[in-house]
Amino acid sequence: MIDDNYEPSTLFEATANLVRSVTQEYSIDPDRLYTTGQSMGAMMSLGLNIRYPDLFAAAFIVAGQWPETQAAPLAQRKLWILVSADDTKAYPGEQAITEVIRDQGTQVSTALWDGRSTDAEFAADVRSMKAQRTPVNFAAFETGTVVPSGSTTSVHMATWQVAYTIPGIRDWIMRQSR
């Protein structure tokens, strides 16, 4: 869909057209469409939110990135961004995007989480961020907390295995509307 130079393939446009078509054909509320992705899927979600700012009500971005020079339209979006602090490519990329969003005047809540937290601890972390009532939430897992001991999985790939188990984020996303 997107290459490492942020050039979309024809499937990028096809995806946007598919979302619109399915929304029109079926009983789907166009004001409550959401996107999420990890790595290249996060790039796709970011790119779609930039190119089509009225398509999705909110996005959950996991370990992704996009050139910050193109990120200004994201300041108008509702985003929950989650990345590992020791992801040497996605973490600085997401930080740069978040700075652009802030520079556009959008409030952003930030937090550093332990990727080994229990469900109850994650629930408290999510509640704390949600209480700030910002349209953009940026959380990073502390260095060394998402890859299980003895695992050969990369930090980048391990992030989604934790991120998508945190139900409070899904709940926040699903409560958003345009």
The three-state secondary structure class of 127 is helix
Report all structural domains of the chain as residue ranges with CATH numbers, in order of start.
31-174 (3.40.50.1820)
Question: Do 82 and 60 contact (CB within 8 A), yes or no?
Answer: yes
Question: Do 49 and 59 contact (CB within 8 A), yes or no?
Answer: yes
| Tens-digit pLDDT string for the chain (178 aa) | 777 788 888 889 999 999 999 999 999 999 999 999 999 999 999 999 999 999 999 999 999 999 999 999 999 999 999 999 999 999 999 999 999 999 999 999 999 999 999 999 999 999 999 999 999 999 999 999 999 888 888 999 999 999 999 989 999 999 999 9
Question: Do 75 and 104 contact (CB within 8 A), yes or no?
Answer: yes
Contacts of residue 92, Cβ cutoff 8 Å, sequence gap at least 6? none
Is pTM beyond 0.85 here? yes
User: What totals of helices (H) and strands (E) does the chain contain, helices first?
Assistant: 6, 5
